Amino acid sequence: MRIGFKFRERILVLAAGVCIVLLMGDRFIVTPLSRLWKARAERISLLKQNLEKGALLLDRKGDIDQRWQDMNERSLSADIAEAENKILNAVNGWASRSRFNLTSIKPRWLHDEVNSKKLEFRLSGTGDVESIYRFLYEIESDSLAIKLEDIEISSRDEKTRELSLSVRFTGLILMKEKS
C-alpha cells in the first residue's frame, strides 16, 4: 500500500507543477501576447481608415487642385498698385451698377501673415435702401477674393429716404511660392 501512496503523491505533485506552469504561461506569455495582438489589430484598423481617407483625397486631388488654382487666380496681385487699382475699379463698378454715391475710399495694407497679405478698404457713401442693398450684393457676389468685415448703416435725416453706409472689407493676396 505504501507504493501506491507514493505514486499518488507523485501524480499530485506533477499535476500541481503542470498547473503552476500553465498559470505562469497564461500570466506571462498568453495574456501579454493577446494584449499585443489586440493593440496591433486596432493599429491596423486605424491605419486602414487613414489609408482610405488618403485614397479619398487622392481621388479628389483634381478637384482640390482646381479650387486652389481658382483661389490663386481670384486673389489680388502682389503688386501694390495693381491690387489697389483692381479693387478701385471693382468698387466703381459696384457703385455705378447699384446707383450708390461713394464719398470716400481709403486703402490700407495689412502685413500679418507670412504667405499672404491683406488689403483693407474702408469706404463710405450714401443711397437709398435699394441702392445700399444692391451695392452690398455686388460686393458679396464679386469673384475677387474679398471679405466684408464691418458694415454700418445709418439714417442721414428723418425726412428723406437717404441712408449712409460705411463698409470695411479686405482683399486677400496670396504670396506665390518660390520653387
Q: What is the mean pLDDT of each run of 10 residues along the chain (179 residues)?
A: 71 90 88 91 90 77 81 75 86 92 88 71 91 91 86 82 90 62
Among 124, 126, 123, 125, CA closest to 108: 123
Which pLDDT value is given to residue 142?
Answer: 85
Which pLDDT value is given to residue 178?
Answer: 39
Which pLDDT value is given to residue 157?
Answer: 72
Which pLDDT value is given to residue 115?
Answer: 64
Cell of 93: 463698378
Spatial distance between the Cα atoms of 83 and 145, rounded to a whole number of angstroms: 11
Residue 80: partners with Cβ closer than 8 Å, 6 or more residues away: 109
